[in-house]
């Protein structure tokens, strides 16, 4: 059995938490705080999706061989620009 005193805040508790947040950060900073939190969450989701996509597409030997000539061409271009 779960103790009813421990758990998620309900109605009045959320209002008290909101009032404390407004007092600590100030009403003017709350939109900036929410915007930066949203950006951080969006970046995190994009990065985790990219990692999942990388894991979902395993490299086959044919893909590795097709990537090698592009690497050689890039190396040659770098050598031309440094000379």
Q: Please, where are the H alpha helices in 1-83? A: 11-25, 30-56, 61-82
- pLDDT, greater one: 25 or 81: 25
The rounded radius of gyration (Å) of the Cα atoms in the chain is: 26
Q: What is the pLDDT of residue 46?
A: 93
Tens-digit pLDDT profile for residues 37-63: 999 999 999 999 988 888 776 555 555
The pTM assigned to this predicted structure is 0.44
Q: Would you say 22 and 30 are in contact if contact means Cβ atoms under 8 Å apart?
A: yes
- pLDDT, greater one: 21 or 81: 21
């Amino acid at each position: 059995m779960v103790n009813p005193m421990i758990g998620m805040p309900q109605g009045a508790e959320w209002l008290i938490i909101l009032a404390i947040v407004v007092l600590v950060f100030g009403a003017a900073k709350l939109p900036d705080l929410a915007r930066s939190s949203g950006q951080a969450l969006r970046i995190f989701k994009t990065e985790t999706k990219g990692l999942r996509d990388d894991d979902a597409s395993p490299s086959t030997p044919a893909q590795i061989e097709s990537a090698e000539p592009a690497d050689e061409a890039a190396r040659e271009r770098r050598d031309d620009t440094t000379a």
